[in-house]
Protein backbone atom coordinates (compact mmCIF):
# COMPACT_ATOMS: atom_id res chain seq x y z
CA UNK A 1 0.00 0.00 0.00
CA UNK A 2 0.99 3.61 -0.52
CA UNK A 3 0.75 6.48 1.93
CA UNK A 4 0.56 9.98 0.47
CA UNK A 5 1.47 13.13 2.37
CA UNK A 6 -0.77 15.63 0.63
CA UNK A 7 0.36 19.07 -0.45
CA UNK A 8 -1.70 20.99 2.13
CA UNK A 9 -0.61 22.74 5.32
CA UNK A 10 -3.70 22.89 7.51
CA UNK A 11 -4.97 24.84 10.50
CA UNK A 12 -7.57 23.50 12.92
CA UNK A 13 -9.85 26.21 14.29
CA UNK A 14 -13.05 26.67 16.25
CA UNK A 15 -15.71 29.36 15.89
CA UNK A 16 -18.03 29.89 18.85
CA UNK A 17 -21.75 29.64 18.25
CA UNK A 18 -22.41 33.22 19.33
CA UNK A 19 -19.54 34.46 17.17
CA UNK A 20 -20.69 32.86 13.93
CA UNK A 21 -22.20 36.12 12.69
CA UNK A 22 -18.67 37.53 12.43
CA UNK A 23 -17.61 34.75 10.06
CA UNK A 24 -20.69 34.16 7.93
CA UNK A 25 -19.35 35.96 4.87
CA UNK A 26 -15.87 34.34 4.83
CA UNK A 27 -17.43 30.91 5.32
CA UNK A 28 -19.92 31.50 2.50
CA UNK A 29 -17.03 32.65 0.34
CA UNK A 30 -15.05 29.48 1.11
CA UNK A 31 -18.05 27.22 0.45
CA UNK A 32 -19.67 28.82 -2.59
CA UNK A 33 -17.17 31.20 -4.20
CA UNK A 34 -14.28 28.90 -5.05
CA UNK A 35 -13.01 31.24 -7.76
CA UNK A 36 -12.42 34.02 -5.21
CA UNK A 37 -10.08 32.07 -2.97
CA UNK A 38 -7.16 29.71 -3.45
CA UNK A 39 -8.39 27.44 -0.67
CA UNK A 40 -8.19 23.77 -1.74
CA UNK A 41 -8.90 22.07 1.60
CA UNK A 42 -11.93 23.21 3.60
CA UNK A 43 -14.06 21.41 6.17
CA UNK A 44 -16.77 22.86 8.42
CA UNK A 45 -18.43 20.76 11.13
CA UNK A 46 -21.15 21.99 13.44
CA UNK A 47 -21.56 20.36 16.85
CA UNK A 48 -23.63 21.55 19.83
CA UNK A 49 -20.57 23.36 21.21
CA UNK A 50 -19.07 25.17 18.24
CA UNK A 51 -18.09 25.09 14.58
CA UNK A 52 -14.83 23.30 13.76
CA UNK A 53 -13.15 24.66 10.63
CA UNK A 54 -10.18 22.83 9.11
CA UNK A 55 -8.60 24.63 6.18
CA UNK A 56 -5.36 25.26 4.38
CA UNK A 57 -3.24 28.36 4.78
CA UNK A 58 -4.94 30.18 1.90
CA UNK A 59 -8.35 29.60 3.46
CA UNK A 60 -7.07 30.52 6.90
CA UNK A 61 -6.30 34.01 5.61
CA UNK A 62 -10.06 34.56 5.30
CA UNK A 63 -10.65 34.14 9.05
CA UNK A 64 -9.87 37.30 10.92
CA UNK A 65 -8.66 37.00 14.52
CA UNK A 66 -11.26 37.65 17.19
CA UNK A 67 -12.33 36.50 20.63
CA UNK A 68 -14.72 34.06 18.94
CA UNK A 69 -12.00 32.23 16.98
CA UNK A 70 -9.76 29.62 18.59
CA UNK A 71 -6.80 28.33 16.61
CA UNK A 72 -4.82 25.22 17.47
CA UNK A 73 -1.20 26.31 17.32
CA UNK A 74 0.20 23.51 15.14
CA UNK A 75 0.42 23.11 11.38
CA UNK A 76 -1.23 19.82 10.39
CA UNK A 77 -0.47 17.66 7.34
CA UNK A 78 -3.10 15.33 5.80
CA UNK A 79 -2.15 11.74 5.02
CA UNK A 80 -4.10 9.48 2.69
CA UNK A 81 -3.82 5.70 2.22
CA UNK A 82 -3.87 4.43 -1.35
CA UNK A 83 -4.13 0.75 -2.33
CA UNK A 84 -3.71 -0.66 -5.85
CA UNK A 85 -3.87 2.82 -7.30
CA UNK A 86 -7.20 3.62 -5.63
CA UNK A 87 -7.93 5.83 -2.67
CA UNK A 88 -8.72 4.06 0.56
CA UNK A 89 -12.48 4.51 0.29
CA UNK A 90 -12.53 2.11 -2.65
CA UNK A 91 -11.54 -0.80 -0.43
CA UNK A 92 -14.29 -3.09 0.79
CA UNK A 93 -13.90 -2.01 4.38
CA UNK A 94 -15.24 1.47 4.94
CA UNK A 95 -13.72 4.37 6.80
CA UNK A 96 -11.14 4.48 9.55
CA UNK A 97 -11.54 0.76 10.36
CA UNK A 98 -9.38 -0.31 7.42
CA UNK A 99 -6.41 1.78 8.55
CA UNK A 100 -6.75 1.17 12.29
CA UNK A 101 -4.03 -1.47 12.56
CA UNK A 102 -1.71 -0.24 9.83
CA UNK A 103 -1.74 3.51 10.59
CA UNK A 104 -3.75 4.59 13.64
CA UNK A 105 -2.47 1.97 16.08
CA UNK A 106 1.25 2.30 15.23
CA UNK A 107 1.09 6.10 15.48
CA UNK A 108 -0.64 5.86 18.86
CA UNK A 109 2.14 3.59 20.10
CA UNK A 110 4.64 6.25 19.08
CA UNK A 111 2.63 8.89 20.96
CA UNK A 112 1.70 10.74 17.78
CA UNK A 113 -1.62 12.58 18.08
CA UNK A 114 -3.88 12.36 15.04
CA UNK A 115 -6.90 14.35 13.93
CA UNK A 116 -9.24 12.31 11.72
CA UNK A 117 -11.46 13.53 8.93
CA UNK A 118 -13.43 10.87 7.07
CA UNK A 119 -15.28 11.99 3.95
CA UNK A 120 -17.52 10.33 1.37
CA UNK A 121 -14.50 9.88 -0.88
CA UNK A 122 -11.69 8.92 1.50
CA UNK A 123 -10.15 9.26 4.96
CA UNK A 124 -7.64 11.92 5.92
CA UNK A 125 -5.27 11.32 8.83
CA UNK A 126 -3.98 14.70 10.02
CA UNK A 127 -0.66 14.75 11.88
CA UNK A 128 1.35 17.65 13.18
CA UNK A 129 4.06 18.84 10.82
CA UNK A 130 6.64 18.60 13.61
CA UNK A 131 5.83 14.89 14.01
CA UNK A 132 6.40 14.04 10.33
CA UNK A 133 9.80 12.39 10.85
CA UNK A 134 8.33 10.04 13.47
CA UNK A 135 5.30 9.31 11.28
CA UNK A 136 7.49 8.31 8.35
CA UNK A 137 9.91 6.20 10.40
CA UNK A 138 6.96 4.44 12.03
CA UNK A 139 5.06 3.65 8.83
CA UNK A 140 7.73 3.21 6.17
CA UNK A 141 8.01 -0.54 6.72
CA UNK A 142 4.30 -0.97 6.00
CA UNK A 143 3.86 1.63 3.25
CA UNK A 144 5.54 3.17 0.25
CA UNK A 145 5.44 6.80 1.33
CA UNK A 146 5.12 9.71 -1.10
CA UNK A 147 4.93 13.44 -0.59
CA UNK A 148 2.92 15.45 -3.08
CA UNK A 149 4.84 18.45 -4.36
CA UNK A 150 3.07 20.68 -6.90
CA UNK A 151 0.98 17.78 -8.17
CA UNK A 152 3.85 15.29 -8.36
CA UNK A 153 4.28 12.31 -6.00
CA UNK A 154 7.85 12.18 -4.72
CA UNK A 155 9.08 9.12 -2.73
CA UNK A 156 10.19 10.02 0.76
CA UNK A 157 12.08 8.13 3.46
CA UNK A 158 12.73 8.86 7.12
CA UNK A 159 16.27 10.07 6.49
CA UNK A 160 14.95 12.56 3.95
CA UNK A 161 12.93 14.45 6.56
CA UNK A 162 14.84 13.87 9.80
CA UNK A 163 17.05 16.91 9.31
CA UNK A 164 15.43 20.18 10.23
CA UNK A 165 12.24 18.69 11.64
CA UNK A 166 11.56 18.40 15.35
CA UNK A 167 11.73 14.87 16.68
CA UNK A 168 8.75 13.71 18.69
CA UNK A 169 9.77 13.62 22.32
CA UNK A 170 12.78 12.67 24.33
CA UNK A 171 15.38 9.97 23.99
CA UNK A 172 13.95 6.55 23.28
CA UNK A 173 13.37 4.03 20.57
CA UNK A 174 11.92 5.48 17.34
CA UNK A 175 10.13 8.39 18.92
CA UNK A 176 8.75 6.88 22.10
CA UNK A 177 8.09 9.74 24.46
CA UNK A 178 7.76 10.06 28.19
CA UNK A 179 4.70 12.27 28.78
CA UNK A 180 4.97 15.14 31.25
CA UNK A 181 3.69 14.55 34.75
CA UNK A 182 0.42 16.35 34.05
CA UNK A 183 -0.41 14.24 30.99
CA UNK A 184 -3.80 12.53 30.97
CA UNK A 185 -2.15 9.39 29.59
CA UNK A 186 -1.02 6.79 32.10
CA UNK A 187 2.49 5.43 31.66
CA UNK A 188 3.72 1.94 32.32
CA UNK A 189 6.88 0.01 31.45
CA UNK A 190 7.25 -3.55 30.28
CA UNK A 191 10.25 -5.77 29.54
CA UNK A 192 11.57 -6.19 26.01
CA UNK A 193 14.08 -9.03 25.89
CA UNK A 194 16.09 -9.26 29.07
CA UNK A 195 18.19 -6.14 29.38
CA UNK A 196 16.00 -3.10 28.78
CA UNK A 197 12.47 -1.76 28.65
CA UNK A 198 10.54 0.78 26.63
CA UNK A 199 7.42 2.71 27.46
CA UNK A 200 3.87 1.95 26.35
CA UNK A 201 1.14 4.53 26.42
CA UNK A 202 -2.16 3.52 27.94
CA UNK A 203 -4.65 6.24 26.98
CA UNK A 204 -7.52 7.39 29.12
CA UNK A 205 -10.70 5.49 28.29
CA UNK A 206 -13.13 8.32 27.64
CA UNK A 207 -16.90 8.17 28.14
CA UNK A 208 -19.04 7.92 25.05
CA UNK A 209 -22.44 9.28 24.06
CA UNK A 210 -24.67 7.45 21.57
CA UNK A 211 -27.42 9.82 20.37
CA UNK A 212 -30.55 8.61 18.64
CA UNK A 213 -30.01 10.43 15.32
CA UNK A 214 -29.69 8.44 12.13
CA UNK A 215 -26.98 9.88 9.87
CA UNK A 216 -26.21 9.86 6.16
CA UNK A 217 -22.81 10.19 4.50
CA UNK A 218 -23.36 11.82 1.14
CA UNK A 219 -21.73 13.69 -1.72
CA UNK A 220 -22.68 16.31 -4.27
CA UNK A 221 -21.54 17.36 -7.72
CA UNK A 222 -19.78 20.71 -7.15
CA UNK A 223 -21.50 22.11 -10.23
CA UNK A 224 -24.88 21.68 -8.51
CA UNK A 225 -23.78 23.42 -5.32
CA UNK A 226 -25.58 26.68 -6.25
CA UNK A 227 -28.83 24.71 -6.51
CA UNK A 228 -28.79 23.93 -2.79
CA UNK A 229 -27.17 27.16 -1.62
CA UNK A 230 -30.25 28.50 0.17
CA UNK A 231 -30.91 25.23 1.96
CA UNK A 232 -27.26 24.73 2.90
CA UNK A 233 -26.97 28.26 4.29
CA UNK A 234 -30.15 27.74 6.30
CA UNK A 235 -28.97 24.41 7.76
CA UNK A 236 -25.46 25.65 8.56
CA UNK A 237 -26.18 29.11 9.87
CA UNK A 238 -29.81 29.43 10.88
CA UNK A 239 -31.35 26.11 11.89
CA UNK A 240 -31.41 25.07 15.54
CA UNK A 241 -32.05 21.60 16.86
CA UNK A 242 -34.74 21.45 19.56
CA UNK A 243 -32.59 18.87 21.31
CA UNK A 244 -29.53 21.08 21.67
CA UNK A 245 -30.59 22.55 24.96
CA UNK A 246 -30.89 19.08 26.44
CA UNK A 247 -27.26 18.10 26.14
CA UNK A 248 -26.70 18.26 29.87
CA UNK A 249 -29.81 16.30 30.84
CA UNK A 250 -29.40 13.03 32.77
CA UNK A 251 -30.88 11.12 29.83
CA UNK A 252 -28.66 12.74 27.23
CA UNK A 253 -27.81 9.35 25.67
CA UNK A 254 -31.43 9.21 24.45
CA UNK A 255 -31.28 12.65 22.83
CA UNK A 256 -30.44 13.74 19.33
CA UNK A 257 -27.56 16.15 18.83
CA UNK A 258 -26.82 18.76 16.22
CA UNK A 259 -24.11 17.51 13.88
CA UNK A 260 -23.55 18.63 10.31
CA UNK A 261 -20.31 18.39 8.35
CA UNK A 262 -19.47 19.90 4.97
CA UNK A 263 -16.12 19.36 3.24
CA UNK A 264 -14.82 20.75 -0.03
CA UNK A 265 -11.42 19.21 -0.62
CA UNK A 266 -9.59 19.34 -3.96
CA UNK A 267 -12.91 19.81 -5.74
CA UNK A 268 -14.78 16.95 -4.02
CA UNK A 269 -17.74 17.62 -1.73
CA UNK A 270 -18.70 15.45 1.23
CA UNK A 271 -21.61 15.94 3.61
CA UNK A 272 -22.59 14.24 6.85
CA UNK A 273 -26.04 15.04 8.21
CA UNK A 274 -28.86 13.39 10.10
CA UNK A 275 -32.01 12.27 8.33
CA UNK A 276 -33.94 15.30 9.58
CA UNK A 277 -31.53 17.65 7.81
CA UNK A 278 -31.41 15.41 4.74
CA UNK A 279 -35.13 15.86 4.17
CA UNK A 280 -34.57 19.57 3.58
CA UNK A 281 -32.41 18.91 0.49
CA UNK A 282 -33.55 17.87 -3.00
CA UNK A 283 -33.30 14.09 -3.11
CA UNK A 284 -32.08 14.04 -6.71
CA UNK A 285 -28.96 16.13 -6.03
CA UNK A 286 -27.37 14.43 -3.05
CA UNK A 287 -26.05 10.94 -3.62
CA UNK A 288 -24.80 8.17 -1.38
CA UNK A 289 -23.66 4.58 -1.87
CA UNK A 290 -25.94 2.18 -3.74
CA UNK A 291 -27.04 0.55 -0.48
CA UNK A 292 -28.10 3.90 0.96
CA UNK A 293 -27.12 2.81 4.47
CA UNK A 294 -27.85 4.79 7.61
CA UNK A 295 -25.29 5.38 10.33
CA UNK A 296 -25.35 5.90 14.09
CA UNK A 297 -22.92 8.05 16.02
CA UNK A 298 -20.57 7.30 18.88
CA UNK A 299 -19.41 10.59 20.36
CA UNK A 300 -16.18 10.29 22.33
CA UNK A 301 -15.35 12.48 25.32
CA UNK A 302 -17.08 13.65 28.48
CA UNK A 303 -15.04 16.86 28.49
CA UNK A 304 -13.17 18.55 25.62
CA UNK A 305 -10.38 16.20 24.58
CA UNK A 306 -7.63 18.61 23.66
CA UNK A 307 -5.00 17.87 21.01
CA UNK A 308 -2.02 16.40 22.87
CA UNK A 309 -3.43 13.07 23.98
CA UNK A 310 -2.68 10.15 21.70
CA UNK A 311 -4.61 6.90 21.30
CA UNK A 312 -8.14 8.32 21.29
CA UNK A 313 -8.85 7.29 17.70
CA UNK A 314 -7.12 3.92 18.20
CA UNK A 315 -9.22 3.29 21.30
CA UNK A 316 -12.35 3.20 19.13
CA UNK A 317 -11.07 2.13 15.72
CA UNK A 318 -9.07 -0.93 16.72
CA UNK A 319 -11.96 -2.79 18.42
CA UNK A 320 -14.15 -1.92 15.42
CA UNK A 321 -11.49 -3.33 13.13
CA UNK A 322 -11.34 -6.51 15.21
CA UNK A 323 -15.10 -6.84 14.76
CA UNK A 324 -14.92 -5.99 11.04
CA UNK A 325 -17.28 -3.06 11.58
CA UNK A 326 -16.99 -0.14 9.19
CA UNK A 327 -16.70 3.36 10.58
CA UNK A 328 -16.33 6.94 9.48
CA UNK A 329 -14.47 9.10 11.98
CA UNK A 330 -14.62 12.88 12.31
CA UNK A 331 -12.54 14.71 14.90
CA UNK A 332 -13.63 18.17 15.96
CA UNK A 333 -12.11 20.88 18.13
CA UNK A 334 -13.76 19.54 21.30
CA UNK A 335 -14.84 15.93 20.73
CA UNK A 336 -14.44 12.96 18.38
CA UNK A 337 -17.23 11.25 16.47
CA UNK A 338 -17.37 7.75 14.97
CA UNK A 339 -20.20 6.78 12.63
CA UNK A 340 -21.01 3.07 12.47
CA UNK A 341 -23.68 1.23 10.42
CA UNK A 342 -27.04 1.33 12.14
CA UNK A 343 -27.32 -2.46 12.14
CA UNK A 344 -24.09 -2.68 14.16
CA UNK A 345 -24.93 -0.16 16.87
CA UNK A 346 -26.01 -2.78 19.44
CA UNK A 347 -22.81 -4.80 19.10
CA UNK A 348 -20.75 -1.59 19.15
CA UNK A 349 -22.52 -0.45 22.32
CA UNK A 350 -21.84 -3.81 23.99
CA UNK A 351 -18.20 -3.67 22.89
CA UNK A 352 -17.69 -0.19 24.32
CA UNK A 353 -19.39 -1.08 27.60
CA UNK A 354 -17.12 -4.10 27.97
CA UNK A 355 -14.07 -1.96 27.14
CA UNK A 356 -14.94 0.46 29.90
CA UNK A 357 -15.64 -2.28 32.43
CA UNK A 358 -12.22 -3.75 31.76
CA UNK A 359 -10.59 -0.32 32.09
CA UNK A 360 -12.37 0.29 35.40
CA UNK A 361 -11.23 -3.05 36.83
CA UNK A 362 -7.62 -2.77 35.69
Beta-carbon contacts of residue 327 (< 8 Å; ≥ 6 apart):
94, 95, 96, 97, 118, 316, 317, 320, 338, 339, 340
66 — phi, psi (to 5°)? -165, 175
Nearest to 110 by CA among 172, 18, 28, 189: 172
- For position 84, what pLDDT does the model report? 60
- For position 79, what pLDDT does the model report? 97
Nearest to 270 by CA among 119, 124, 123: 119
Alpha-carbon span 29 to 64, nearest angstrom: 14
Mean pLDDT of successive 10-residue stretches along the chain, which has 362 residues: 95 96 95 91 96 98 97 97 60 74 94 95 96 96 92 85 47 32 32 34 80 94 93 87 44 74 96 94 83 89 88 91 93 96 94 84 74
Nearest to 203 by CA among 302, 360, 311: 311
- For position 83, what pLDDT does the model report? 73
Alpha-carbon span 147 to 208, nearest angstrom: 36
- For position 197, what pLDDT does the model report? 32
- For position 335, what pLDDT does the model report? 96
Alpha-carbon span 301 to 221, nearest angstrom: 34
**pTM for this predicted structure:** 0.84
Amino acid sequence: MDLHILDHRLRVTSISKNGLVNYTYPLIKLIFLRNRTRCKFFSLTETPENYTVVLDEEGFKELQPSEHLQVESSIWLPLNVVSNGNVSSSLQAVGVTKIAKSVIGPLAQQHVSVFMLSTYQTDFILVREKDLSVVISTLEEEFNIYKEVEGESVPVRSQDVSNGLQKNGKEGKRGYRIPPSNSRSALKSFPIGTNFCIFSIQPTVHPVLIPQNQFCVMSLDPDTLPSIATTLIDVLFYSNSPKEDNQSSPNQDLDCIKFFSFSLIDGYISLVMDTEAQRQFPADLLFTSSSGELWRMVRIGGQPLGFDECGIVAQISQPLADGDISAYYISTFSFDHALVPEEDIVSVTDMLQQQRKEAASS
